[in-house]
Structure 1
Amino acid sequence: MASVFPTSSAEPTAIYNIDRDIELSSNPKAENVDRDKRSKCECRNSKVTYVQAPPKWHKWCFLLLGILLIISLSLETYLLITQQSIDKVPARATDVDYPNIPFINGWTKISVKEFNATVGHFPEVDVYLHKNYIRAHIRLFAKGASFLIGAQVLDKYGRDLIGRPDNTQFVTTARDMDDILDKANGNITVIEEELGIPAGGWSGKDMRRIDILKPRLLHVRVPTGNEAGTNHLWIPGGYMPTGLPEAVIDRVPKGMYTETKVPGTPRKKT
């Protein structure tokens, strides 16, 4: 039995048995078995290692992971831009024309008004307002909503279920109502101006403030302009002509609201 060694002075890289190689060369099946064994392990006395090539499906896995990564990054960028757009929704409009309101599908404040003049009613808000804007506007009312109502109305119709019978009660945010009453300091004329009430409309009346802690439970939404009592001063986008945010809620059952007297208004006659 003979062995063959490398002629260079470098460390041997492999040692093979010549007779074994001759036997394998005459027996293809044995050669295949031997090669398969050698492909799975390292020769004991050699640094030569046979490594199996990775399956082709590995390439497809890497490709799929790359595509998923691109989609993930694109989605993250979209959400970031959307959030920045939401953050721009003003708590109070300083310009009643507010050109920054994200009208969609080619709509404008003027075209919404023209639609009503032609068809006889206003379109739904999701037709001309971006859905992210609508959600952000509703979020302004997360900490409560408020409206004012005459004590005589409550006495006449009861307090078990208050608000407009057609479930279109206009409200502003509780925070804005706080600011209005603080600014008015008992002057009903200032309150009328801030809420867009015709001058003298509440003069001499015992007014009550209604606060709703969780307006989301009463289907709080952006006004469409089709609500009862809406006049020609209404503008699309969820703001009063004075710039205060407004929304619409359903009727409010007893236990979901608090009633307090508006400072500066006379008490009801008994």
Structure 2
Amino acid sequence: MYSTTYHRAASIAEAAQLIKQGDAKLLAGGMTLIPAMKTRLAAPSDLVDIGRIAELKGVTVSGSTITIGAGTTHAEVATDAALKAACPALSRLADRIGDPHVRHMGTIGGSIANNDPAADYPAALLALAATIVTDQREIPADEFFAGQFETALEDGEIITAVRFTAPDKAAYEKFPNPASRYAIVGVFVAKGAGGVRAAVTGAGDDGVFRSSEIESALASNFDASAFDGLTVPSDSLMTDIHASAEYRANLIVVMANRAVARANA
């Protein structure tokens, strides 16, 4: 480690001012930033801790609209009773992230700001057509996720919440890395007033993406039988030490099949 100046912000407004100092970085749960600092992959001059800002916490369900504060931990997303009733798929997703330590420290805002190509939340928010709310504007999920570890956030912009409409049906299934629990392939499917959306994480060369093949198959028949004979192309999928692009292409169909079966259960 090296010298850095630590600040604990008491409000979003204070955090917005502190982040302007030097090469400052926001600290929420620290699940990615702290390891990066330890290995010197990140070297911020200042750390702005937003983990205790009350206005970034909590889940609100108002009618069919669900709002989750960016500082809400994975464990809180997993256990919130109102969210479990309105969108159990997201609660179940959060309950399968990492291990208990990660779930009690990591936050939904930190996860999507980092936009790891194998993270779970990006697939959920993309499939749910969510809106990412910042201290400056609102960004549709379709425009927010811009590539591996890249988002539409500007320098100094702070995610404050995510908001979406509760789906009629939804589910998420992933084939996890046995060590990290990150998705080697994860598929989130959602059916709502706007139709069917399906998003894939862990597989794309450019991070999370929507699958037109899955969406087309489910558009007229939201049932696992819609995948009979379905294949997805592998040319834009990644190959690494865990799986080849071709293997991931097959896993996408398998995980989508399981997700739809769960959504209909």
> Is the shorter-chain TM-score for this pair beyond 0.5, marking a shared fold?
no
More strand by share: 2
TM-score (norm 1): 0.23
Higher relative contact order (CA 8 A, sep 6+): 1
